[in-house]
Amino acid sequence: MAKYDYVPSPFMSNPIVKWVDHRLPIFEMVDQQLIKYPAPRNLNYWWNFGSLAGVMLVVMILSGIFLAMNYQPSTVAAFDSVERIMRDVNYGWLLRYMHMNGASMFFVVVYIHIARGLYYGSYKAPREILWWLGLLIFLAMMATAFMGYVLPWGQMSFWGATVITNLFSAIPLVGKSIVTWLWGGFSVDNPTLNRFFALHYLLPFVIAGLVLLHLWALHVHGSNNPLGIDAKGPQDKIPFHPYYTVKDAFGLSVFLIIYAYFVFFNPYMLGDPDNWIPANPLVTPPHIVPEWYFLPFYAILRSVPDKLGGVTLMFGAIAILFVLPWLDTSRVRSGRFRPAFRVFFWLFMVVTVTLGWCGSQPPEGMALTIGQICTVLYFLHFLVFLPLLGWFERPLPLPASIAEPVLKSAAK
Protein backbone atom coordinates (compact mmCIF):
# COMPACT_ATOMS: atom_id res chain seq x y z
CA MET A 1 0.00 0.00 0.00
CA ALA A 2 1.33 3.33 -0.94
CA LYS A 3 2.06 5.39 2.15
CA TYR A 4 -0.51 8.08 2.61
CA ASP A 5 -0.86 10.97 4.95
CA TYR A 6 -3.12 9.65 7.63
CA VAL A 7 -5.28 12.40 9.08
CA PRO A 8 -7.20 10.97 12.02
CA SER A 9 -10.99 11.35 12.10
CA PRO A 10 -12.37 13.92 14.56
CA PHE A 11 -13.63 11.25 16.96
CA MET A 12 -10.05 10.13 17.52
CA SER A 13 -9.45 13.13 19.79
CA ASN A 14 -12.27 12.09 22.15
CA PRO A 15 -10.67 11.43 25.56
CA ILE A 16 -12.40 8.07 26.02
CA VAL A 17 -11.26 6.96 22.59
CA LYS A 18 -7.75 8.10 23.47
CA TRP A 19 -7.85 6.24 26.79
CA VAL A 20 -8.91 3.02 25.08
CA ASP A 21 -6.51 3.39 22.18
CA HIS A 22 -3.58 3.90 24.48
CA ARG A 23 -4.26 0.42 25.84
CA LEU A 24 -5.74 -1.28 22.77
CA PRO A 25 -5.59 0.74 19.55
CA ILE A 26 -8.88 -0.60 18.29
CA PHE A 27 -10.34 2.77 17.27
CA GLU A 28 -7.17 3.60 15.42
CA MET A 29 -7.44 0.32 13.55
CA VAL A 30 -11.06 1.00 12.61
CA ASP A 31 -10.19 4.55 11.60
CA GLN A 32 -7.21 3.51 9.51
CA GLN A 33 -8.58 0.31 8.00
CA LEU A 34 -12.23 1.19 7.47
CA ILE A 35 -12.83 4.92 7.64
CA LYS A 36 -9.75 6.62 6.25
CA TYR A 37 -8.62 3.51 4.43
CA PRO A 38 -7.46 4.71 1.00
CA ALA A 39 -9.27 2.89 -1.81
CA PRO A 40 -8.76 3.35 -5.54
CA ARG A 41 -11.07 6.08 -6.72
CA ASN A 42 -12.27 4.16 -9.78
CA LEU A 43 -13.83 1.00 -8.28
CA ASN A 44 -17.03 0.10 -10.14
CA TYR A 45 -20.11 -1.69 -8.86
CA TRP A 46 -18.53 -5.11 -9.38
CA TRP A 47 -16.41 -4.24 -6.33
CA ASN A 48 -19.57 -4.23 -4.18
CA PHE A 49 -19.76 -7.99 -4.05
CA GLY A 50 -16.99 -8.46 -1.52
CA SER A 51 -18.80 -6.50 1.17
CA LEU A 52 -22.09 -8.10 0.08
CA ALA A 53 -20.55 -11.50 0.74
CA GLY A 54 -19.51 -10.29 4.17
CA VAL A 55 -23.07 -9.16 4.89
CA MET A 56 -24.42 -12.53 3.75
CA LEU A 57 -22.03 -14.33 6.09
CA VAL A 58 -23.40 -12.31 8.99
CA VAL A 59 -27.01 -12.89 7.91
CA MET A 60 -26.38 -16.63 7.62
CA ILE A 61 -24.67 -16.88 11.00
CA LEU A 62 -27.40 -14.89 12.76
CA SER A 63 -30.36 -16.65 11.18
CA GLY A 64 -28.54 -19.95 11.68
CA ILE A 65 -28.03 -19.40 15.40
CA PHE A 66 -31.72 -18.72 15.91
CA LEU A 67 -32.67 -21.73 13.80
CA ALA A 68 -30.30 -23.91 15.80
CA MET A 69 -32.20 -22.94 18.94
CA ASN A 70 -35.17 -24.83 17.55
CA TYR A 71 -33.57 -27.55 15.46
CA GLN A 72 -33.13 -31.14 16.65
CA PRO A 73 -30.32 -33.10 14.99
CA SER A 74 -31.73 -36.60 15.07
CA THR A 75 -33.10 -38.69 12.24
CA VAL A 76 -36.35 -39.11 14.16
CA ALA A 77 -36.91 -35.46 14.99
CA ALA A 78 -35.04 -33.38 12.39
CA PHE A 79 -37.74 -33.15 9.71
CA ASP A 80 -40.52 -32.45 12.20
CA SER A 81 -38.43 -29.91 14.10
CA VAL A 82 -37.88 -27.99 10.88
CA GLU A 83 -41.61 -28.13 10.18
CA ARG A 84 -42.21 -26.89 13.72
CA ILE A 85 -39.92 -23.94 12.95
CA MET A 86 -41.93 -23.29 9.79
CA ARG A 87 -45.33 -23.54 11.48
CA ASP A 88 -45.14 -22.76 15.17
CA VAL A 89 -42.03 -20.75 16.02
CA ASN A 90 -42.61 -16.99 15.93
CA TYR A 91 -41.20 -15.77 12.61
CA GLY A 92 -39.70 -19.23 12.20
CA TRP A 93 -40.72 -19.31 8.54
CA LEU A 94 -38.87 -16.02 8.05
CA LEU A 95 -35.69 -17.34 9.68
CA ARG A 96 -35.85 -20.53 7.68
CA TYR A 97 -36.48 -18.86 4.33
CA MET A 98 -33.78 -16.28 5.02
CA HIS A 99 -31.34 -19.06 5.73
CA MET A 100 -32.43 -21.34 2.90
CA ASN A 101 -32.51 -18.67 0.21
CA GLY A 102 -29.60 -16.90 1.87
CA ALA A 103 -27.37 -19.83 0.96
CA SER A 104 -28.25 -19.34 -2.70
CA MET A 105 -27.79 -15.59 -2.46
CA PHE A 106 -24.43 -16.07 -0.75
CA PHE A 107 -23.26 -18.22 -3.64
CA VAL A 108 -24.59 -15.80 -6.26
CA VAL A 109 -22.64 -13.01 -4.61
CA VAL A 110 -19.46 -15.05 -4.21
CA TYR A 111 -19.60 -16.34 -7.78
CA ILE A 112 -19.88 -12.78 -9.08
CA HIS A 113 -17.07 -11.76 -6.73
CA ILE A 114 -14.87 -14.53 -8.13
CA ALA A 115 -15.81 -13.70 -11.73
CA ARG A 116 -14.88 -10.07 -11.09
CA GLY A 117 -11.49 -11.21 -9.79
CA LEU A 118 -11.01 -13.37 -12.89
CA TYR A 119 -11.91 -10.55 -15.27
CA TYR A 120 -9.79 -7.85 -13.68
CA GLY A 121 -6.85 -10.10 -12.84
CA SER A 122 -7.19 -9.56 -9.10
CA TYR A 123 -5.35 -12.82 -8.41
CA LYS A 124 -2.08 -11.59 -9.88
CA ALA A 125 1.02 -10.52 -7.95
CA PRO A 126 1.12 -9.29 -5.28
CA ARG A 127 -2.33 -10.66 -4.41
CA GLU A 128 -1.79 -14.44 -4.74
CA ILE A 129 -2.30 -15.15 -1.05
CA LEU A 130 -5.38 -12.96 -1.03
CA TRP A 131 -6.68 -15.12 -3.89
CA TRP A 132 -5.84 -18.35 -2.06
CA LEU A 133 -7.62 -17.22 1.06
CA GLY A 134 -10.65 -16.45 -1.08
CA LEU A 135 -10.54 -19.95 -2.53
CA LEU A 136 -10.28 -21.44 0.95
CA ILE A 137 -13.37 -19.46 1.93
CA PHE A 138 -15.11 -20.82 -1.16
CA LEU A 139 -14.21 -24.40 -0.23
CA ALA A 140 -15.37 -23.91 3.35
CA MET A 141 -18.61 -22.43 2.03
CA MET A 142 -19.20 -25.45 -0.15
CA ALA A 143 -18.66 -27.80 2.77
CA THR A 144 -20.94 -25.72 4.99
CA ALA A 145 -23.68 -25.51 2.36
CA PHE A 146 -23.52 -29.23 1.69
CA MET A 147 -23.80 -30.17 5.36
CA GLY A 148 -26.50 -27.58 5.95
CA TYR A 149 -28.58 -29.07 3.16
CA VAL A 150 -28.52 -32.42 4.97
CA LEU A 151 -30.00 -31.03 8.20
CA PRO A 152 -33.71 -30.78 7.22
CA TRP A 153 -33.50 -34.54 6.59
CA GLY A 154 -35.63 -34.53 3.48
CA GLN A 155 -35.21 -36.92 0.58
CA MET A 156 -32.65 -34.71 -1.18
CA SER A 157 -30.81 -34.17 2.11
CA PHE A 158 -30.40 -37.86 2.61
CA TRP A 159 -29.57 -38.83 -0.95
CA GLY A 160 -27.36 -35.81 -1.51
CA ALA A 161 -25.39 -36.79 1.58
CA THR A 162 -25.20 -40.39 0.42
CA VAL A 163 -23.98 -39.51 -3.07
CA ILE A 164 -21.46 -36.85 -2.03
CA THR A 165 -19.93 -38.83 0.83
CA ASN A 166 -19.63 -41.77 -1.55
CA LEU A 167 -17.34 -39.63 -3.72
CA PHE A 168 -14.63 -40.39 -1.20
CA SER A 169 -15.00 -44.10 -1.83
CA ALA A 170 -13.24 -43.43 -5.14
CA ILE A 171 -9.96 -43.05 -3.27
CA PRO A 172 -7.96 -46.23 -3.83
CA LEU A 173 -7.37 -48.61 -0.90
CA VAL A 174 -8.65 -46.43 1.94
CA GLY A 175 -11.77 -45.01 0.26
CA LYS A 176 -14.21 -47.41 1.85
CA SER A 177 -12.83 -46.88 5.35
CA ILE A 178 -12.91 -43.11 4.89
CA VAL A 179 -16.57 -43.20 3.92
CA THR A 180 -17.44 -45.42 6.90
CA TRP A 181 -15.55 -42.98 9.09
CA LEU A 182 -17.41 -40.02 7.58
CA TRP A 183 -20.73 -41.72 8.20
CA GLY A 184 -19.91 -43.08 11.64
CA GLY A 185 -21.72 -46.21 10.50
CA PHE A 186 -22.58 -48.18 7.42
CA SER A 187 -24.92 -45.66 5.86
CA VAL A 188 -25.86 -42.03 6.26
CA ASP A 189 -27.69 -42.15 9.57
CA ASN A 190 -28.07 -40.53 12.95
CA PRO A 191 -24.33 -40.20 13.71
CA THR A 192 -23.81 -38.58 10.30
CA LEU A 193 -26.60 -36.09 10.86
CA ASN A 194 -25.28 -35.23 14.31
CA ARG A 195 -21.73 -34.56 13.19
CA PHE A 196 -22.93 -32.62 10.15
CA PHE A 197 -24.90 -30.36 12.47
CA ALA A 198 -21.87 -29.83 14.72
CA LEU A 199 -19.65 -29.03 11.74
CA HIS A 200 -22.28 -26.92 10.03
CA TYR A 201 -22.38 -24.78 13.16
CA LEU A 202 -18.57 -24.64 13.41
CA LEU A 203 -17.51 -23.93 9.82
CA PRO A 204 -19.10 -20.48 9.45
CA PHE A 205 -16.85 -19.25 12.24
CA VAL A 206 -13.87 -20.76 10.45
CA ILE A 207 -15.05 -18.84 7.39
CA ALA A 208 -15.27 -15.67 9.47
CA GLY A 209 -11.65 -16.20 10.54
CA LEU A 210 -10.60 -16.75 6.93
CA VAL A 211 -12.48 -13.59 5.96
CA LEU A 212 -10.40 -11.61 8.47
CA LEU A 213 -7.23 -13.00 6.93
CA HIS A 214 -8.64 -12.25 3.48
CA LEU A 215 -9.20 -8.62 4.54
CA TRP A 216 -5.78 -8.41 6.11
CA ALA A 217 -4.16 -9.62 2.92
CA LEU A 218 -6.35 -7.20 0.96
CA HIS A 219 -5.25 -4.23 3.02
CA VAL A 220 -1.56 -4.94 2.57
CA HIS A 221 -1.54 -3.85 -1.07
CA GLY A 222 -5.02 -2.42 -1.28
CA SER A 223 -7.80 -3.26 -3.70
CA ASN A 224 -7.14 -3.97 -7.34
CA ASN A 225 -9.17 -1.72 -9.62
CA PRO A 226 -10.83 -1.81 -13.04
CA LEU A 227 -7.69 -0.47 -14.72
CA GLY A 228 -5.51 -3.06 -12.99
CA ILE A 229 -2.66 -0.59 -12.51
CA ASP A 230 -1.15 0.36 -9.17
CA ALA A 231 -1.95 3.63 -7.49
CA LYS A 232 0.75 6.22 -8.14
CA GLY A 233 -0.08 8.65 -5.36
CA PRO A 234 -2.77 10.07 -3.14
CA GLN A 235 -4.64 11.57 -6.09
CA ASP A 236 -5.47 7.99 -7.15
CA LYS A 237 -7.21 7.17 -3.89
CA ILE A 238 -10.17 8.26 -1.85
CA PRO A 239 -11.05 7.45 1.77
CA PHE A 240 -13.25 4.39 2.18
CA HIS A 241 -15.72 6.38 4.22
CA PRO A 242 -17.96 7.96 3.06
CA TYR A 243 -17.35 7.12 -0.60
CA TYR A 244 -17.40 3.36 -0.50
CA THR A 245 -19.53 2.99 2.61
CA VAL A 246 -22.37 4.77 0.86
CA LYS A 247 -21.76 2.95 -2.40
CA ASP A 248 -21.69 -0.41 -0.63
CA ALA A 249 -24.82 0.53 1.31
CA PHE A 250 -26.65 1.44 -1.87
CA GLY A 251 -25.54 -1.79 -3.54
CA LEU A 252 -26.66 -3.69 -0.46
CA SER A 253 -30.13 -2.16 -0.55
CA VAL A 254 -30.58 -3.19 -4.19
CA PHE A 255 -29.32 -6.68 -3.38
CA LEU A 256 -31.72 -6.92 -0.43
CA ILE A 257 -34.65 -6.22 -2.75
CA ILE A 258 -33.74 -9.27 -4.81
CA TYR A 259 -33.10 -11.35 -1.70
CA ALA A 260 -36.40 -10.26 -0.13
CA TYR A 261 -38.25 -11.17 -3.32
CA PHE A 262 -37.11 -14.76 -2.97
CA VAL A 263 -37.67 -14.92 0.79
CA PHE A 264 -41.19 -13.52 0.73
CA PHE A 265 -42.62 -14.28 -2.68
CA ASN A 266 -40.77 -17.18 -4.18
CA PRO A 267 -39.10 -19.13 -1.38
CA TYR A 268 -39.28 -22.55 -3.03
CA MET A 269 -37.98 -21.61 -6.45
CA LEU A 270 -34.33 -22.35 -5.75
CA GLY A 271 -35.02 -25.56 -3.81
CA ASP A 272 -36.03 -29.04 -4.83
CA PRO A 273 -39.62 -30.20 -4.08
CA ASP A 274 -38.30 -33.61 -3.05
CA ASN A 275 -36.70 -32.13 0.03
CA TRP A 276 -40.15 -31.57 1.54
CA ILE A 277 -40.54 -35.36 1.69
CA PRO A 278 -39.02 -36.89 4.82
CA ALA A 279 -35.84 -38.89 4.19
CA ASN A 280 -36.46 -42.49 3.21
CA PRO A 281 -33.34 -44.67 3.06
CA LEU A 282 -35.20 -47.28 0.99
CA VAL A 283 -36.37 -45.11 -1.91
CA THR A 284 -34.11 -42.93 -4.05
CA PRO A 285 -35.87 -40.05 -5.85
CA PRO A 286 -35.84 -40.60 -9.61
CA HIS A 287 -33.76 -37.53 -10.39
CA ILE A 288 -31.05 -36.54 -7.90
CA VAL A 289 -29.61 -33.09 -8.40
CA PRO A 290 -27.57 -31.01 -6.03
CA GLU A 291 -28.45 -27.40 -5.26
CA TRP A 292 -27.89 -25.13 -8.26
CA TYR A 293 -24.58 -23.76 -7.00
CA PHE A 294 -22.94 -27.17 -7.23
CA LEU A 295 -24.29 -28.02 -10.68
CA PRO A 296 -21.22 -27.06 -12.78
CA PHE A 297 -18.99 -29.25 -10.62
CA TYR A 298 -21.59 -32.02 -10.65
CA ALA A 299 -21.56 -31.89 -14.46
CA ILE A 300 -17.77 -32.24 -14.50
CA LEU A 301 -18.04 -35.22 -12.14
CA ARG A 302 -20.50 -36.99 -14.42
CA SER A 303 -18.74 -36.23 -17.67
CA VAL A 304 -16.08 -38.83 -16.90
CA PRO A 305 -17.25 -42.44 -17.17
CA ASP A 306 -14.79 -43.48 -14.47
CA LYS A 307 -15.38 -43.10 -10.74
CA LEU A 308 -11.90 -42.03 -9.63
CA GLY A 309 -11.41 -39.98 -12.82
CA GLY A 310 -14.64 -38.06 -12.30
CA VAL A 311 -13.93 -37.30 -8.67
CA THR A 312 -10.37 -36.23 -9.44
CA LEU A 313 -11.51 -33.95 -12.23
CA MET A 314 -14.21 -32.39 -10.06
CA PHE A 315 -11.78 -31.55 -7.28
CA GLY A 316 -9.23 -30.56 -9.92
CA ALA A 317 -11.66 -27.98 -11.26
CA ILE A 318 -11.25 -26.09 -8.00
CA ALA A 319 -7.64 -27.03 -7.32
CA ILE A 320 -6.59 -25.53 -10.62
CA LEU A 321 -7.76 -22.13 -9.40
CA PHE A 322 -4.99 -22.21 -6.79
CA VAL A 323 -2.29 -22.16 -9.49
CA LEU A 324 -4.16 -19.67 -11.66
CA PRO A 325 -1.82 -16.76 -10.73
CA TRP A 326 0.98 -18.65 -12.47
CA LEU A 327 -1.04 -20.05 -15.36
CA ASP A 328 -2.01 -16.57 -16.45
CA THR A 329 1.26 -15.35 -17.91
CA SER A 330 0.14 -11.89 -18.97
CA ARG A 331 1.68 -8.96 -17.13
CA VAL A 332 -1.45 -6.87 -17.67
CA ARG A 333 -4.00 -7.40 -14.93
CA SER A 334 -7.26 -5.95 -16.16
CA GLY A 335 -9.29 -7.59 -18.92
CA ARG A 336 -10.14 -4.10 -20.08
CA PHE A 337 -6.77 -3.88 -21.84
CA ARG A 338 -6.71 -7.48 -23.05
CA PRO A 339 -8.99 -7.80 -26.09
CA ALA A 340 -8.21 -11.47 -26.76
CA PHE A 341 -8.47 -12.44 -23.11
CA ARG A 342 -11.93 -10.86 -22.98
CA VAL A 343 -13.18 -13.22 -25.65
CA PHE A 344 -11.90 -16.22 -23.73
CA PHE A 345 -13.21 -14.86 -20.45
CA TRP A 346 -16.76 -14.66 -21.79
CA LEU A 347 -16.35 -18.06 -23.41
CA PHE A 348 -15.38 -19.36 -19.98
CA MET A 349 -18.47 -17.77 -18.43
CA VAL A 350 -20.66 -19.44 -21.04
CA VAL A 351 -18.88 -22.73 -20.41
CA THR A 352 -19.55 -22.63 -16.65
CA VAL A 353 -23.21 -21.68 -17.09
CA THR A 354 -23.63 -24.43 -19.66
CA LEU A 355 -21.97 -26.87 -17.28
CA GLY A 356 -24.52 -25.81 -14.71
CA TRP A 357 -27.30 -26.61 -17.12
CA CYS A 358 -25.76 -29.99 -17.94
CA GLY A 359 -25.57 -30.76 -14.23
CA SER A 360 -29.32 -30.26 -13.90
CA GLN A 361 -30.07 -32.73 -16.71
CA PRO A 362 -30.12 -36.52 -16.57
CA PRO A 363 -26.61 -37.69 -17.57
CA GLU A 364 -27.44 -39.01 -21.02
CA GLY A 365 -27.53 -38.00 -24.67
CA MET A 366 -26.98 -34.37 -25.62
CA ALA A 367 -26.55 -33.05 -22.10
CA LEU A 368 -23.78 -35.54 -21.42
CA THR A 369 -21.95 -34.72 -24.65
CA ILE A 370 -22.23 -30.98 -24.12
CA GLY A 371 -21.06 -31.49 -20.55
CA GLN A 372 -18.00 -33.36 -21.75
CA ILE A 373 -17.14 -30.67 -24.29
CA CYS A 374 -17.53 -27.97 -21.67
CA THR A 375 -15.42 -29.90 -19.17
CA VAL A 376 -12.62 -30.01 -21.72
CA LEU A 377 -13.06 -26.29 -22.42
CA TYR A 378 -13.03 -25.54 -18.70
CA PHE A 379 -9.63 -27.08 -18.26
CA LEU A 380 -8.31 -25.82 -21.61
CA HIS A 381 -9.08 -22.30 -20.46
CA PHE A 382 -6.67 -22.57 -17.55
CA LEU A 383 -4.09 -24.96 -18.94
CA VAL A 384 -3.79 -23.75 -22.54
CA PHE A 385 -5.65 -20.52 -23.33
CA LEU A 386 -4.45 -18.43 -20.40
CA PRO A 387 -0.75 -19.38 -20.62
CA LEU A 388 -0.70 -18.86 -24.40
CA LEU A 389 -2.64 -15.59 -24.29
CA GLY A 390 0.12 -14.04 -22.21
CA TRP A 391 2.53 -14.83 -25.02
CA PHE A 392 0.53 -13.96 -28.08
CA GLU A 393 -1.83 -11.25 -26.96
CA ARG A 394 -0.95 -7.64 -27.64
CA PRO A 395 -2.51 -5.63 -24.79
CA LEU A 396 -3.88 -2.14 -25.29
CA PRO A 397 -1.77 0.73 -23.92
CA LEU A 398 -2.24 1.24 -20.18
CA PRO A 399 -3.13 4.68 -18.79
CA ALA A 400 -0.38 6.42 -16.83
CA SER A 401 -2.36 6.55 -13.60
CA ILE A 402 -5.74 5.81 -12.11
CA ALA A 403 -6.56 9.48 -11.80
CA GLU A 404 -5.59 10.30 -15.39
CA PRO A 405 -8.64 8.96 -17.29
CA VAL A 406 -10.93 10.11 -14.50
CA LEU A 407 -9.69 13.65 -14.56
CA LYS A 408 -9.52 13.70 -18.33
CA SER A 409 -13.17 12.81 -18.66
CA ALA A 410 -13.99 15.38 -16.00
CA ALA A 411 -12.14 18.06 -17.91
CA LYS A 412 -14.18 17.49 -21.06
Of 79-87, 217-225, 318-326, 373-381, the window that binds another protein (rule: CB under 8 A) is: 79-87
Residue 412: Cβ within 10 Å count: 4
* Long-range contacts of residues 171-177, Cβ cutoff 8 Å, at least 24 apart: 171/308, 171/311, 172/308
x/- binding map, residues 96-125, to another protein, per CB under 8 A? -x--------------x--x---x------
Q: Are 317 and 300 in contact (CB under 8 A)?
A: yes
Is residue 5 involved in binding another protein (CB under 8 A)? yes
**Which secondary structure element, helix H or strand E, spans residue 96, and what is its range?**
helix 92-119
SS (H, E, C) 243-259: HHHHHHHHHHHHHHHHH
Q: Could you give the CA distance from residue 358 to residue 289 in angstroms, rounded to a whole number?
A: 11
Residues forming the active site: 219, 223, 247-248, 291
Is residue 11 involved in binding another protein (CB under 8 A)? no
The candidate with the shortest Cα–Cα distance to 147, out of 109, 101, 110, 199, is 199
Is residue 230 involved in binding another protein (CB under 8 A)? no
Which residues does residue 278 pair with via DSSP β-bridges, in sequence order? Answer: 154
- Minimum Å distance from CB 151 to another protein? 17
Q: Could you give the CA distance from residue 52 to residue 18 in angstroms, rounded to a whole number?
A: 32
DSSP 382: I
Q: Out of 89, 167, 340, 380, point to the residue binding another protein (CB under 8 A).
A: 89
Q: Could you give the CA distance from residue 57 to residue 113 in angstroms, rounded to a whole number?
A: 14
x/- binding map, residues 281-300, to another protein, per CB under 8 A? -----x-----x--------
DSSP 47: G
Of 15-23, 125-133, 238-246, 372-380, the window that binds another protein (rule: CB under 8 A) is: 238-246
- Minimum Å distance from CB 410 to another protein? 5
Q: Out of 1, 30, 35, 86, point to the residue binding another protein (CB under 8 A).
A: 86
- Minimum Å distance from CB 354 to another protein? 9
x/- binding map, residues 193-212, to another protein, per CB under 8 A? --------------------
* Long-range contacts of residues 175-183, Cβ cutoff 8 Å, at least 24 apart: none
x/- binding map, residues 44-73, to another protein, per CB under 8 A? ------------------xx--x--xx---
Backbone φ, ψ for residue 171 (5° rounding): -65, 130
Of 171-179, 180-188, 251-259, 316-324, the window that binds another protein (rule: CB under 8 A) is: 251-259
Is residue 40 involved in binding another protein (CB under 8 A)? no
Q: Are 314 and 301 in contact (CB under 8 A)?
A: yes
Give residues in contact with another protein (CB under 8 A). 4-5, 7, 36, 38, 41, 62-63, 66, 69-70, 80, 83-84, 86-95, 97, 112, 115, 119, 234-235, 237-239, 242-243, 246-247, 249-250, 253-254, 256-257, 260-261, 263-265, 267-268, 273-277, 286, 292, 346, 349-350, 353, 356-357, 360-361, 403, 406-407, 409-410
